[in-house]
Amino acid sequence: MRFFICIIAICFLLSSCKKEEPFNPDEHIVYEHWYKLSGSADTLYSVYFENTFTPNGDGINDDFRPVGYFSLIKFRVYNKSGEVIYETTDISKSWRGKVNNSGDAVQMGAYAYQFIVSDVYGESYDYFGTVMLYK
């Protein structure tokens, strides 16, 4: 009888264990937000950045770019050596995880970015951050 109870207890414990799902970076995106307000509470600019992207061609989160209401001066991405691997002044362009978007695909890892934006009065603001590229 004890043997039968032990078997039932083991089966119950094993069936209640859940298989851990693999980490999916597309489901764990955090946005960084910078903004500046004027004295009249009108938004001068508002910028959002993802902290992670996956340029794997699945159509979900395949590129990295600033999103929001701003006037872009310059957007750069740097590798770990501090070299510029992507640069644009076009607000509609995004980084797709390749050197200058046409060269070799970069490795999975963290990359620094610089974002220079101007507000409605022409004053410029310089921001730095990091983004994680997963494949």
Domain that holds residue 53: 25-133
pLDDT attached to residue 110 = 94
Report pLDDT digits (tens) over 61-111.
899 988 877 788 899 999 999 999 999 999 889 999 999 988 889 999 999
**Does any domain span residue 12?**
no
On whether residue 9 sits in a domain, the answer given is no
Number of domain units in the chain:
1
Q: Quote the pTM value.
A: 0.70
- As a whole-number percent, the residues of the chain with pLDDT over 70 amount to 67
What's 95's domain CATH number? 2.60.40
Judge whether 72 and 117 are in contact, CB under 8 Å.
Answer: yes
Q: Which strands sit side by side in the sheet containing 52-53, from one edge to the other? A: 52-53, 124-133, 109-118, 71-78, 84-88
pLDDT band for position 40 (50/70/90)? very low
